[in-house]
């Protein structure tokens, strides 16, 4: 009887390590691919959303189209964070057997509406009236430009016969053709309000585009000094 009990105990001791070894072996971790589209409440794609896996401690950023793709495992928690939106998270079920999970996310806006504030450079209303009503100094550059434009206008109206070089005429014709092709099917461009056209026009005038070579420049007037009377 004692021999039978001893054999039974010895056999039990030999089975315990085998059972512990089998139980100690963990099941291989399964990976799944989580992907989808992230949109706002108006179903517009949201880019730059941080998508983070809590279990694997990995993260990605959503694309311009709102599409994201992240490697995860069953039972993992996925966090979604973006500036201007509330935080969101989802959990992958433990019983999920597929290798791919489609999860589309709709983020709620996280904004606070505040009243409009107008910032003015004046502390009081009297300072505002003083700065607005006081006489502003005339910009010498603007004054010179106005005088130059007036003189150019007078010169153009006075000279009826203008000599334009062939190169300048060809360049002007090509520019007009290019402008017509660029603005085809659109409203015509008003070059009177185009500062670049004005600068080109002034430069052309300075280079002698509208200069009439047959007209001689007036000679400067001579100043005649009075002779001093001789003392007798």
CA dist 216 and 141 (Å) reads: 30
Report residue 7's pLDDT band, with 50, 70 and 90 as the boundaries: low
Quick one: pLDDT at residue 221?
47
- Residue 38's nearest CA partner among 50, 27, 26 is 50
pLDDT digits (tens, 9 = 90+) for 8-35: 665 565 655 544 444 445 566 789 999 9
Mean pLDDT computed over every residue of the chain = 76
CA dist 113 and 136 (Å) reads: 40
- Residue 82's nearest CA partner among 117, 115, 106 is 106
Quick one: pLDDT at residue 162?
58
Whole-structure pTM value: 0.41
- Residue 145's nearest CA partner among 209, 192, 199, 191 is 199
CB neighbours of residue 46 within 10 Å: 22
For the chain, the structural domain boundaries read 32-106, 114-212
pLDDT digits (tens, 9 = 90+) for 37-82: 999 999 999 999 999 999 999 999 999 999 999 999 999 999 999 9
**Architecture in CATH of 32-106:** Sandwich (2.60)
Quick one: pLDDT at residue 122?
84
């Amino acid at each position: 009887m004692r021999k039978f009990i001893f054999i039974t105990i010895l056999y039990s001791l030999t089975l315990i390590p085998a059972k512990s070894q089998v139980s100690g072996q963990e099941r291989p971790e399964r990976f799944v691919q989580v992907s989808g589209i992230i949109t706002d409440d108006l179903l517009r794609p949201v880019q730059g959303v941080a998508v983070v896996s809590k279990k694997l401690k990995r993260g990605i950023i959503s694309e311009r189209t709102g599409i994201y793709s992240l490697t995860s495992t069953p039972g993992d928690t996925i966090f979604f964070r973006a500036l201007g939106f509330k935080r969101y998270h989802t959990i992958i079920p433990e019983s999920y057997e597929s290798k791919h999970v489609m999860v589309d996310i709709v983020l709620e806006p996280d904004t606070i509406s505040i009243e409009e504030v107008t910032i003015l450079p004046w502390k009081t209303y009297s300072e505002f009236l003083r700065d607005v009503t006081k006489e502003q100094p005339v910009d010498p550059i603007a004054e010179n430009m106005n005088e130059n434009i007036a003189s150019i206008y007078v010169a153009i109206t006075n000279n009826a016969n203008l000599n334009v070089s062939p190169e300048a005429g060809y360049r002007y014709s090509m520019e007009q053709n290019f402008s017509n092709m660029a603005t085809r099917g659109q409203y015509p461009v008003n070059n009177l309000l185009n500062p670049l056209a004005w600068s080109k026009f002034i430069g052309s005038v300075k280079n002698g585009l509208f200069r009439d070579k047959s007209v001689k420049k007036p000679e400067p007037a001579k100043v005649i000094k009075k002779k001093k009377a001789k003392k007798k």
